[in-house]
Amino acid sequence: MNKTEAIRLVIDGTDTEPVVFTTGYACRIARHHRDRESHFYMTGSMGLAGPIGAGIAHSTGRPTVVVDGDGSLLMNPAGLATAAVTPGLPLLHIVLDDAAYASTGGQPTQAPTADFCGLARSFGYRSVTRVEEPGDLSAVLGALLSDLRGPSLVHCVLGEADLPVPPRVEGDLAAHTRRFSRRVRFPAGRPGAA
């Protein structure tokens, strides 16, 4: 599976849940595949996707999905420890691991020697899973979102070359933030969700 396929599976497996896409190619691929008001596309702040998602899950109590990268998580593994402090936190943290800083030229990361699952487990994550196949990612995503009662991590190992990456996320980023914030506060079908 490649990054594009994994991101499409996450988007197709979610609906109204807030989904935070890490900076770089992940947010570009997601925006191109399906733009939703419940998607937050990070255009900077590498290493902060997990903490942003944890903050959303904590403040709303709603299942929240983070689509992170191996390099991003390696930049700030303390985010895992912070999320794990709240045992019932409805956070699903998906780490797409291609062992490279893809959007800055493909420099290798230390992901091949990192144990993302072991790290999350040691901090107290409720569920920790490693997947390599598209069907496994879909199955794990569905199972966890149907019963997300604590911080969960999915280490998704990518082994195939990616497709050409879509253009950067453009437009009024402040308006995008307001759109996302409104959707998170007022999910579809609730007062103020206009």
The per-residue pLDDT for 116 is 97
The two beta strands, 100-101 and 91-97, are: unpaired
- Among residues 9, 64, 8, the alpha carbon closest in space to that of 31 is found at 8
Mean predicted confidence (pLDDT) in 159-172? 79
C-alpha to C-alpha distance for 34 and 152, rounded to whole angstroms: 24
Task: Report all structural domains of the chain as residue ranges with CATH numbers, in order of start.
Answer: 3-185 (3.40.50.970)
Q: Is the pLDDT of residue 8 over 80?
A: yes
**Residue range 105-162, pLDDT digits in tens:** 778 889 999 999 999 999 999 999 999 999 999 999 999 999 999 999 999 999 988 7
How do residues 76-99 score in pLDDT, each as one tens digit?
Answer: 999 999 999 998 999 999 999 998
Structure-token pair, residue 47:
């290493």
SS3 159: coil
pLDDT tens digits, 41-69 = 998 889 999 999 999 999 999 999 999 99
What letter would DSSP give residue 96? Answer: E
Band of residue 190 on the pLDDT scale cut at 50, 70, 90: low
What pLDDT, on the 0 to 100 scale, is given for residue 172?
Answer: 81
pLDDT tier for residue 167 given thresholds of 50, 70 and 90: confident
In the numeric block, the tokens 């770089």 are attached to 24
Please name the residues in contact with 174: beta carbons below 8 A apart, sequence gap of 6 or more: none
